[in-house]
Structure 1
Amino acid sequence: MNLKNVLTAAAAILIFSSAAGAAQTPTRMNQFNAWGTYSYSGSDGKICYVLSTPTKMTPATVDHGDIFFLVSQKPGQGVSYEPQVVMGYALKEGSKVTVDVDGKDYSMFVKGESAWMENAAEEPQLVANLRSGRVMTVEATSQRGTETSYTYSLSGVTAALNSINECK
């Protein structure tokens, strides 16, 4: 496991520890190009997710911290393919995060360092576009007002999502 994967897994542990309360340490299941797959057992059953880090971060002059885009499966909670962005900094309260997949935009609401789909009914469409897309960009505004942008490769996202399809 290279340093990037170790850092990704460590950050993923922090993400789900804070998001799920007393979540257990995630197990790294596989790597599909730019996307890793992870799972852990929560209080409501097993949770699986795919996770990637940006290939490009702007502006280059600021400390972004650890940035992640993930899609989780939570069968015990009736959640299927829930996209989430996790930033390494506090997001501007009341702002929106914009996710662009090959020219199609989606809006996410902000809470702390994370963002989720503003319209949950659009989650399946975003996931379908991730599967068929080439590049995703995420734009956000930090609590300090800094406009940030992140570019992600979608190479491997379909195989990663397929691998967690039967999360139980």
Structure 2
Amino acid sequence: MKIFRISVALFAAATWVGAAAAQDAKPTPKPPATPAPEAKPAPKPAAAPKPATPAAAAPAGAEQPLLLGQYGDWGAYKATPGGKIVCFALAKPANAVTEPVGRKRDQSYLFISSRPAEKVKHEISTIVGYPQRTGGDTAATVGTASYTMYAQSDAAWLKNPAEETQMIDAMRKGQDIVIKSTSSRGTKSTDSYSLKGLAQALDKVEQECK
């Protein structure tokens, strides 16, 4: 069976609206761009070209994903690249740590996306904010359960797609997920994502992406 993965660099767009924004009485300033996922074939051999970066993959005038709702720390989005519906839940880490301390990197994100036309539901991926170590894996932990993620460039996907249903169930019931990775320079990162609101965001994604 062909494995479908997420390209974490379709275009820079969409509005990231944090929970704090809903509590702020002041007019909301124009938010920064947020990357959105699209379908991606299974990784090719090492000789294949590297996947595009978020900036490079943002075509001029690309359609912006629509924010369907903000649920706790998670946003639910919908987009129609090429006329095909893509819905996804997206979060930024509540806490991000690097070792050595203070080592700079780009913003990290965690995606859970669905693409009805491809019969893909709740596909998990992450952007870690730097090129990862070649041949290395990224580790995700939800409670006492651990999962291995396939690392490629600055992104990672669940290595065994058969575990996605189990992992999604654990995330729906859990309080947080911790993702650890190592950069090509040896920098180690630990991103902790709150799972508050995830269940509601996924319910919205399911509703919009039937």
- Normalising by structure 2, report the TM-score: 0.72
Tell me if the contact between 1:107 and 1:117 (Cα under 8 Å) persists in the aligned partners: yes
Residue among 40, 46, 68 paired with 2:79 = 40
Question: How many Å separate the matches in 2 of 1:11 and 1:78?
Answer: 25
Query: Is 1:161–2:208 an aligned residue pair?
Result: no
Higher helix fraction: Structure 1 or Structure 2? 1
Aligned to 1:51, what secondary structure does the other structure show?
A: strand
Shift of 1:4: 9.8
Residue among 148, 158, 165 paired with 1:117 = 158
Aligned to 2:35, what secondary structure does the other structure show?
A: helix
Write out aligned runs for 1:93-112 (5 A). Answer: 93-112=134-153
Question: How many Å separate the matches in 2 of 1:69 and 1:26?
Answer: 16
Query: Is 1:61–2:102 an aligned residue pair?
Result: yes
Indicate how the Cα distance of structure 1 residues 21 and 118 shifts in structure 2: closer, same or farther if over 3 A, else same: farther
Question: How many Å separate the matches in 2 of 1:21 and 1:126?
Answer: 30
Paired AA for residue 96 in structure 1: D
Shift of 1:11: 2.3
Aligned to 1:145, what secondary structure does the other structure show?
A: coil
Write out aligned runs for 1:78-97 (5 A). Answer: 78-97=119-138
Partner of 1:12: 35
Runs of 4+ in structure 1 deviating by more than 2 angstroms, as ranges, are 1-7, 18-24
Residue among 70, 75, 91 paired with 1:52 = 91
Tell me if the contact between 1:44 and 1:76 (Cα under 8 Å) persists in the aligned partners: no
Residue among 133, 137, 140 paired with 2:178 = 137
Shift of 1:5: 9.0
Question: How many Å separate the matches in 1 of 2:105 and 2:178?
Answer: 15
Indicate how the Cα distance of structure 1 residues 74 and 147 shifts in structure 2: closer, same or farther if over 3 A, else same: same
**Structure 2 unaligned regions, length at least 5:** 1-16, 22-27, 39-51
Shift of 1:42: 2.0
- Structure 1 vs Structure 2: percent identity of aligned residues? 26
Paired AA for residue 34 in structure 2: A
Structure number, greater radius of gyration: 2
Shift of 1:89: 1.2
Q: How many residues align?
A: 165
Out of 46-55 and 87-96, give the one that drifted further: 87-96
**Structure 1 unaligned regions, length at least 5:** none
Tell me if the contact between 2:128 and 2:181 (Cα under 8 Å) persists in the aligned partners: no
